[in-house]
A and B are shown apart, each in its own frame.
Chain A
Amino acid sequence: MMLASTLGPTPYLVLGAVLFTVGAVGLLVRRNPLVMFMCIELMLNATNLTFVTFARQLDDVGGQVIVFFVLVVAAAEVVIGLGIIVGILRRRPGATADDLRLMKG
C-alpha cells in the first residue's frame, strides 16, 4: 500500500513553485474573470502540493489536514466568486476585468 516515493522533496516543491508562478502570471495577464479564477485555483493547487510534500517530509499528518481545509475553503470561494461573476456578466455581457472599475454591477 505504501508507495513511498524515493524522490526527495525538492522536485515536488519546485513543481509547486512552477505551478504557482504560472497561476500568478495568468492571473496578471488574462482579463476574462473566469480564467482569472481558474488561475487562482492553480495557485491553490500549488500550495496544496507543497503542503502534502512537507507533510510527507516531516512525517506529519497535520499538513494533509490543512490541505483538506484548503479544499473546503476553495469550494466555498468558487461558489461565491462564480455567483458574483454571473451577476456581473448578466448585466454587462462580455465584461472583462478592465471594465469592472466600479463596485456597482
Chain B
Amino acid sequence: MVPIIVFVVAAAICVAGALGVVLNRNPVHSALSLVATLFGVAVLFIAQDAQFLAAVQVIVYAGAIVVLFLFVIMLLGVDRAENLESEPLTGQRPAALVAGLLIGGGLIAVLVASTITGKHSSGAKVDPAQANVNQIGRLLFTDHLWAFEITSVLLVIAVVGAVVLARRGAPGSGADAVDAGIPADDFGEPASPDTVPPNDVEETVR
C-alpha cells in the first residue's frame, strides 16, 4: 500500500511540475516547476532502490543545473512573460500537440500492451546485501572504466568551452565587455533614475 501512495504522490508532483515548465509564461516559474519535477523523480529513484542516483539527482540537477538556469535568467533579465498568443509559424502549435499525442499515445500503448522480456543480468546483478553506492562504484571502475575516463575528458572540454564562450573577442584588447554588448553604465557610477536600463524595458517577446 505504501509504495502505491508514494508513487501516486511523486507522479502527481512530477506531472504537475512538467506541465508547469511548459505552461508557465515566466521562465523563473518554469525553472521552479522543473525543481518540483526533479524532486519527484528523485523520490521515484529512492522507491526503486537507487539511493545514490536520487542523491546525485537532487545535488546535481536541483542544486546545480536549475541554479545555473536561474542565474542565466537573472543575468540576462529575460524573466519577462512570453507572449504565447502570436504564432509566427502558422499551425505549428496544433501540429506540435498532435505530434506529442502521437508520441505519448504510441509509447503508452506499447508499454501497456507488451511485457518486458529482457534478459536478467548475469554480470552486474543487484546484490541486496551490498550498499547501492558500492555496487555502482564497482561497476563504474571495472566494466565502465573507459566511459568514465571519457567522461572526465568531456567535462574538461565543457569547462574550456564555457570559458571560451564567456570571453570572446580579441584577448588583450579589453573589448570583451563591450563586445558582449553590456552597456557601459553597468560598470560606472549608478545610472541616473531617468535612464532606464535596457533590461527593465517592458517588452514582451514577440
Chain A residues close to B by CB (< 8 Å): 2-7, 9-15, 17-26, 28-32, 34-35, 37-39, 41-42, 45, 48-49, 52-62, 64-65, 67-69, 71-80, 82-87, 89-91, 93-94, 96, 98-99
A-chain residues with CB within 8 Å of residue B34 when the two chains form the complex: 38, 41-42
**Chain A min CB distance to B70 (Å):** 10
- A-B contacts, 20 of them at CB < 8 A, read A3-B47, A7-B47, A15-B15, A21-B104, A30-B82, A32-B82, A38-B31, A45-B61, A60-B126, A67-B50, A67-B53, A68-B136, A71-B57, A72-B154, A73-B151, A75-B60, A76-B155, A84-B165, A85-B72, A96-B205
**Chain A min CB distance to B101 (Å):** 8
Query: Given contacts A52-B50, A80-B158, is CB(A62)–CB(B22) below 8 Å?
Result: no
Chain B residues close to A by CB (< 8 Å): 3-4, 7, 11, 14-15, 18-19, 21-22, 27, 30-31, 34, 37-38, 41, 44-50, 52-53, 56-57, 60-61, 64-65, 68-69, 72-73, 75-78, 80, 82, 88-89, 92-93, 95-97, 99-101, 103-104, 107-108, 111-112, 116, 118-121, 124-126, 128, 132, 135-136, 139-140, 143-144, 147, 151, 154-155, 157-159, 161-162, 165-166, 168, 180-182, 198-199, 203, 205-206
Assess whether A73 is in contact with B104, with CB atoms less than 8 Å apart: no
Interface of chain B, main secondary structure: helix
Query: Given contacts A25-B22, A60-B124, A64-B53, is CB(A96)–CB(B206) below 8 Å?
Result: yes
Query: Given contacts A14-B112, A65-B139, A91-B181, is CB(A39)–CB(B78) below 8 Å?
Result: no
Closest to A96 in B: B205
B-chain residues with CB within 8 Å of residue A57 when the two chains form the complex: 116, 118
Assess whether A5 is in contact with B182, with CB atoms less than 8 Å apart: no
A-chain residues with CB within 8 Å of residue B27 when the two chains form the complex: 32, 34-35
* CA–CA, A17 and B19, complex, Å: 14
Assess whether B112 is in contact with A42, with CB atoms less than 8 Å apart: no
* CA–CA, A6 and B49, complex, Å: 12
* CA–CA, A30 and B111, complex, Å: 28
**Chain B min CB distance to A46 (Å):** 8
A-chain residues with CB within 8 Å of residue B31 when the two chains form the complex: 34, 38
Assess whether A3 is in contact with B49, with CB atoms less than 8 Å apart: yes
Query: Given contacts A17-B104, A28-B92, A49-B44, is CB(A80)–CB(B161) below 8 Å?
Result: yes
